[in-house]
Chain A
Amino acid sequence: MKSLTNILLVAPILLPFLSAIIMLSAWKKIKFQRVMNLFASGVAVMASLAIMQKVRADGILVLHVGGWQAPFGISIVIDLLSAIMVVITAVIAFVTAIYSIHTIDPEREAFGFYPLLQFLLMGINGAFITGDLFNLYVWFEVMLISSFVLIALGGRKDQLEGAIKYVTLNLLASAIFLAAAGIIYGLAGTLNMADLARKLPLLNNDTMLNLVSVMFLISFGIKSALFPFFFWLPASYHTPPAAVSAIFAGLLTKVGVYALIRVFTLIFTHDVNFTHTVLLVLAGLTMLSGVLGAATQMDFRRILSFHIISQIGYMIMGLALNSPLALAGGIFYIMHHVIVKTNLFFVSGMVNKFEGSYRLKSLGGVFKASPVLSLLFFIPAMSLAGIPPLSGFWAKFTVAKAGFDLEQYFIVGVSLLVGALTLYSMTKIWNEVFWKDKPDSIQNNNTKESWSSVKLYLPLAILSLITIIIGFNAEPFLNLAINAAHQLLNPQEYIKIVLGS
């Protein structure tokens, strides 16, 4: 029984890994890879739900890999936040698996799209469940290397341009992360997060800790596209195929946000006045610059990319306000945002597939061509803007309520303004792509049948349904987020369970 749990705890890493190996061994059999990808993602969903169930029942789960006890070996630690992230990852991976079957072109499939996707998931999951700072770095690298290939796969000119920006900035972030991990190892002599949380307060060296915490902030800030490090994101996310940019948009920046939440609730709590004020200022600027950037864009996916940035600001705002409700709002925001943003990128890919463009000027008349797709855009778009009763409303409401409770009126004002501007961008897409007539100059070489293919709508419908479910039945999700926030803000339990004393 015990060993079964132990296997379950490493399942988020092992499942994608094993399935990627099997797919590599069947390099030429594309059909088999598709089925395998779908199957592995389906199993991963079930495994992640089992983990979630177990964490809710038994509290924080720990596995000392290789049998080496906590500060010496690498521990896998799954608390509620990790479990939430693993479940979301599995769900997104599953819908992307369905979506990519019909949208990824044969050349990309032949060059290992599916194994790479699974390696990417392994990296993401690994980052979510590790309890060791250096191990976190390693998983970041696993994730980044797969994402480098995925973003450059296909090798079109604009794609390589985006890939170069993406790779350069992320390598820089990794280097800073590594340097910071080195410094912190020199300070405390350990890299186990729980052990760090115990030892760092004993150092009485706040100046040095502030310095290291800022290094972590910069490194994770680059990865999660915080102000002022966000410019690589809109420069690269619109170049790969829609399935890839959807999973990037949904998950990759959230790994950075997760790392920020983890590090700034567990390890760097020595000088909250300094660190969390910096975070709050950055959160406000991130929200504003993202949404204003989106207002000037005229490309479907670029608008969405800029909105990732502004939404990241809300999550960091939740973290920076540093109250249980605010943090819960931030976590709830992640749940909502991953689902909605992936869905919107899927829609953009569908529009491109049938209309052959991402540029708003050359699109139009999609509402007439496919009311279903318009509905499937309308739901996540309104959710993103925070219209009740969809999930985005509760996410924004929770964060704003926490801000009011703490009397941080200015940042709440900013967040509400950003919400209104988000609505402006979504309306712009709606008007240009769906509502207005198709420009006369653009030839429509599209056949009617293709719009009515049900299987293409399936992943979008699943995600829209989840958005609606979270919206109308927000309480259990919110309670989950609140419990996760309580766990994060009371790290004694985490430390005790990992170190065992």
Chain B
Amino acid sequence: MIVSVILKTATRYLIPLMLVFSFFLLLRGHNEPGGGFVGGLVAASAYALFAIANGVKPTQQMLRVKPLSLIVSGLLIAVLSGFAGIVYYGVFMKAFWFETKFPVIGKIGTPLIFDMGVYLLVLGISLKIIFSLFEEDEQ
């Protein structure tokens, strides 16, 4: 596979931007367009870009965790965020909000945690698909 130097260099600068943007989308998602799903897709596209520029193996090394672990932890976080509602209100998935506002992030509550679960799940599944396709291609 021939990869241009331009793409390789540009990727190095683009990836941090894309990851920050994906977090921005994740945090913005409660009341405005955005959320865990889109955020996860943007983050996955950042890694996909890196994989196009540098190949699958380096991407997997950079990611450190396996996509399957991302899927599992994402699902788990999403489900567990629902249990806070049971503990505090006796209703599954009822939103629990902290009173104090945090700087930059704003209000924090279980919907945000749920969205983080979605973020990880989407990231994990997209990467699983992308890696599988790349590995198929290399064989």
Contact = CB atoms under 8 A, between A and B. Distances in A.
Contacts of B72: 21, 24-25
B93 A66 contact: yes
B92 A7 contact: yes
User: What's the dominant secondary structure at chain A's contact region?
Assistant: helix
Interface string A1-38: 01100110010001001100100110100000000000
Nearest to A2: B90
Interface string B69-82: 10110011001000
A64 interface: yes
A65 interface: yes
Given A18-B79, A66-B85, A67-B85, A24 B90 contact: no
Contacts of A3: 86, 90-91
B86 A7 contact: yes
A6 B19 CA distance: 38
A218 interface: no
Given A3-B90, A6-B90, A67-B91, A24 B85 contact: no
Contacts of A63: 91-92
A24 B86 contact: no
Interface in B91-119: 91-95
B89 interface: yes
Contacts of A24: 68, 71-72, 75
A6 B75 contact: no
User: What's the dominant secondary structure at chain B's contact region?
Assistant: helix
B76 A6 contact: no
Contacts of B89: 67
Nearest to B92: A10
B106 to A, nearest CB: 20
Interface residues of A, number: 17
Contact of A66 (B75, B79, B90, B91): B91
B79 A14 contact: yes
Nearest to A14: B79
Contacts of B86: 3, 6-7
Contacts of A67: 85, 89, 91, 94-95
A21 B75 contact: yes
A18 B83 CA distance: 12
A3 to B, nearest CB: 3
B127 to A, nearest CB: 15
Given A18-B79, A24-B75, A65 B68 contact: no
Contacts of A65: 91-93
B122 to A, nearest CB: 15
A6 B92 contact: yes
Specify which of A2, A21, A24, A64 lies most central, judged by the most chain B CB atoms within 10 Å of its CB.
Answer: A21
A66 B75 CA distance: 18
Given A7-B86, A27-B68, A21 B79 contact: yes
A479 B80 CA distance: 39
B75 to A, nearest CB: 5
A24 B73 CA distance: 10
A14 B78 CA distance: 12
Contacts of B71: 24
Contacts of B68: 24, 27
Interface in B43-79: 68-69, 71-72, 75-76, 79
B126 to A, nearest CB: 16
A24 B128 CA distance: 14
Interface string A64-91: 1111000000000000000000000000
A18 B78 CA distance: 11
Nearest to A68: B94
A67 B110 CA distance: 13
Contacts of B76: 21, 25
A10 B86 CA distance: 11
A31 to B, nearest CB: 19
Contacts of B85: 66-67
A38 to B, nearest CB: 21
Interface of B: 68-69, 71-72, 75-76, 79, 85-86, 89-95
Given A21-B75, A63-B91, A66-B91, 11 more contacts: A2-B90, A14-B79, A17-B75, A17-B79, A21-B79, A25-B69, A65-B92, A65-B93, A66-B85, A67-B85, A67-B95
10 smallest beta-carbon distances between A and B, as pairs: A3-B90, A67-B94, A66-B93, A25-B72, A67-B91, A21-B75, A24-B72, A10-B92, A65-B93, A2-B90
8 contacts: A3-B86, A6-B86, A7-B86, A17-B79, A18-B79, A66-B85, A66-B93, A67-B89
